[in-house]
Amino acid sequence: MGYQDEVFRKREQTLLATALKLFQKHGWEQVTVAQVADAAGIGKGTVYKHFATKDEIYARLALDFSQRCLEAYRRQGIGDQALASMRAVIRLSFDLMHQHPTEVQLSLHCERPEFQERLGPRFQSRFAELEVGYTRLFNELLEAAVARGEIPQVPIESVFWGIEAGFHGVMARVAAGGFGHWSTTPDMARYFDHVADFMIAGLLGASAIGATLERQGPNTEGEST
């Protein structure tokens, strides 16, 4: 990497770090590009050499956070018990989200189709690549659990829906800043443990539930006769 490239990279990292601090303090929707430039000691015009819009700053922060999380999950590896490894990954993901609520808020914002449509192909491809990485990791854990006889063979896609729903529920709770008025249990660690156990229980019971529903046939309630 040449000197100018290194200067560009460091300046970009400075802008991202500065933007994140401002977002954490003032709220990511309220902070302007001019405020980011001023706090970083960089001209506003120079910011646009790195990021064409504030949406691109959002996207980079969300992508970088998601990439760091994926790398952390992969470092967990698959131990002798695949389901235990999967639970460890799930539980780690909850802790990382809890430690980085602003990035979680940005991630939820950035995954919206209309938002990604505005970003263009370069960012869209990065989001797609990360999605592939997460799906591959989940498949590896699930296939290991099946191969070791820890769970029966299950349709991967349908099980993935349940896991994804669990993750998004926790993301929404973290992004909201906790439980609010509806719960008397403000202990997030207990909440995370319960949801992780619930998701693993879903894996264990998914095939039995699916077989039962298949035997019962489609739900015809409400159809006209």
Name all domains of the chain by residue range, CATH numbers in brackets.
78-211 (1.10.357)
**Burial of residue 170, with CB atoms counted within 10 A of its CB: 0-12 exposed, 13-18 middle, 19 or more buried:** buried
pLDDT in tens, 25-56: 999 999 999 999 999 999 999 999 999 999 99
Averaged pLDDT of the chain: 88
Question: What integer pLDDT is reported at residue 187 of this predicted model?
Answer: 82
Q: What pTM was computed for the model?
A: 0.86
User: How far apart are the C-alpha atoms of 143 and 137, rounded to whole Å?
Assistant: 10
pLDDT in tens, 94-143: 999 999 999 999 999 999 999 999 998 999 999 999 999 999 999 999 99
* Higher pLDDT, residue 187 or 25: 25
pLDDT at 220 over 50: no
Question: What integer pLDDT is reported at residue 198 of this predicted model?
Answer: 92
% of the chain with per-residue pLDDT over 90: 71
pLDDT at 208 over 80: no
Question: What integer pLDDT is reported at residue 207 of this predicted model?
Answer: 54
CA-based radius of gyration for the chain: 21
pLDDT category, 59, cuts 50, 70, 90? very high
User: How far apart are the C-alpha atoms of 104 and 61, rounded to whole Å?
Assistant: 10
pLDDT category, 225, cuts 50, 70, 90? very low
Tell me the mean pLDDT in the region 215-222. Answer: 52
Tell me the two tokens of residue 219: 């739900």
Nearest to 98 by CA among 23, 174, 178: 174
C-alpha distance from residue 104 to each of 66, 113, 194 (Å): 9, 17, 20
